[in-house]
């Protein structure tokens, strides 16, 4: 099944609206969906989004999902692997990247000063046909 994301040419993003807290995330983390046809029930499609952490926000548990995820930290700071109280972990600065296969546990995450990430999530639909 081919991707059905919309064809979008260059356009200015409104960075002041369209933000929402993803399900299961703390209030200080918000996403702005850029384009998506991701269907987690049918395990098809892809999504591109910007994820924004407010300063001092952290998650408390690792994440795992059944799709691929690519993440580019383009501003701010992100710490990976903090404990449930937001302590510890490995800090990263802008211009760092991660690519995670389905089933990879990652996180928890925190940001001391806030950050913005560009993320792409997608299913490998050739694997879904097995």
Tokens of 125: 């639909």
Residue 56 counted as domain residue: yes
Q: Among residues 108, 115, 94, which one has the least CA distance to residue 58?
A: 108
For 26-62, the pLDDT digits (tens) are: 999 999 999 999 999 999 999 999 999 999 999 999 9
Residue 20 counted as domain residue: no
pLDDT at 11: 95
For 58-105, the pLDDT digits (tens) are: 999 999 999 999 999 999 999 999 999 999 999 999 999 999 999 999
- DSSP state, 95? S
pLDDT at 3 over 70: no
Burial of 53 (0-12, 13-18, 19+ CB in 10 A): buried
The CATH number that applies at residue 85 is 2.60.120.10
Residue 51 counted as domain residue: yes
pLDDT at 38: 96
Could you give the number of structural domains in the chain?
1
* Boundaries of domain holding 68: 29-128
Residue 84 counted as domain residue: yes
């Amino acid at each position: 099944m081919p991707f059905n994301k919309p064809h979008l040419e260059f356009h200015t993003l409104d960075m002041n609206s369209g933000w929402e807290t993803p399900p299961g995330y703390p209030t200080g983390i918000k996403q702005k969906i850029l384009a998506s046809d991701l269907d987690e029930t049918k395990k098809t499609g892809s999504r591109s989004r910007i994820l924004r952490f407010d300063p001092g926000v952290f998650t408390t548990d690792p994440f795992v999902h059944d799709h691929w995820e690519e993440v580019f930290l383009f501003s701010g700071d992100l710490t990976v692997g903090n404990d449930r109280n937001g302590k510890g972990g490995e800090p990263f600065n802008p211009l760092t990247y991660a690519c995670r296969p389905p089933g990879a546990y990652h996180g928890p995450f925190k940001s001391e000063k806030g950050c913005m990430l560009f993320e792409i999530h997608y299913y490998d639909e050739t694997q879904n046909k097995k």
